[in-house]
Structure 1
Amino acid sequence: MFIVSLTYTAPLSDVDALLPAHAAWLQQAYADGLFLASGRKVPRDGGVILARGERAALEARLAQDPFAKGGVARYDIIEFAPSMVAPGLESLQQA
């Protein structure tokens, strides 16, 4: 499992111009089963994505993000293996 931390590298006006395309990109990743959760950081200086799957596939998908293509965000990927989860999230747990 992965935590992807996006940090904006451009003014919010540049980020906002790409937001509709970014949202469509997110929706496709959810439909493909790669993303589990996503949202804005508070304060709004980037975002966070919770993802599963293979790292190479995740990296390839992130490269297709309109934010990446537009040069408005940097991506940091943290891999972790959840050993404990809250009730209802057992499908995220790894042995």
Structure 2
Amino acid sequence: MFIVFLKFSEHRDRAKDFMASHKAWVKQGIDDGVFLLVGSLKGNQGGCIVASGDDHSALETRVHQDPFVIEKVVQPEIQEFTPSMSTESLSFLINED
């Protein structure tokens, strides 16, 4: 599982120019079942995505297709983690090997 931070860069003022295509990219990630949660970082710092899957390389490729990343509106950071505890409603996210 991954947390993707998309933090605004010095080009954040260009976000409005690419918002529609960024939202389409987000929707595709949700439709593909890769993005589980998407939202904004507090303080208008950018966005955050909780993503599933076990292939860091494939997620990195996907993230670099985001129009915000391509146009340098945001700087991406991908952190991988292994969930070990959750509420019952999210227990399907725990990988029991």
**Shorter-chain TM-score category?**
over 0.9
- The letter for the 2-side match of 1:13 is D
State the distance in 1 between where 2:68 and 2:59 align.
15
State the distance in 1 between where 2:83 and 2:41 align.
22
Taking only the aligned residue pairs, the percentage that are identical comes to: 38
Deviation of 1:94 after TM superposition, in Å, equals 1.9
Alignment of 1:1-95 (within 5 A): 1-53=1-53, 54-95=55-96
- The letter for the 2-side match of 1:4 is V
TM-score, normalisation: structure 2: 0.92
TM-score, normalisation: structure 1: 0.93
In structure 2, runs of 5+ residues without a counterpart are none
In structure 1, runs of 5+ residues without a counterpart are none
Deviation of 1:87 after TM superposition, in Å, equals 1.7
SS at match of 1:81: coil
SS at match of 2:89: coil
